[in-house]
Amino acid sequence: MLFGSPSPEVLVGIAVALVVGITFHEFSHALVADQLGDHRPRALGRVSLNPLRHLDPLGALFFLLAGFGWGSRFPSTRTRCEGDGGG
């Protein structure tokens, strides 16, 4: 770990904060894309607050081992958004 050996309570708190943070972050991406007209996130079930839809196993492992990581991505294209003009 980065800061010595934290107590189990601190580790649980960090894990919960990361799961909630990643879930809301990725949900927000999916919701905005859906509202702009790209409906693939909704078709893939990503407009959801279910953490299992947003957590990437490798990204979660990197969070634990290296202190950085990522959530699961979904394909989104600007040209699918209504009123964007693609440019």
Give the active site residue among 22, 23, 26, 60. Answer: 26
Region for 4 from its dihedrals, namely left if φ exceeds 0, alpha if ψ lies in -120 to 50, beta otherwise: left
Q: Tell me if residue 26 is catalytic.
A: yes
- Tokens (6 digits) for 73: 């991505």
- Tokens (6 digits) for 60: 């979660």
Distance CA 81, CA 61 (A): 33
- Catalytic residue positions, numbered: 26
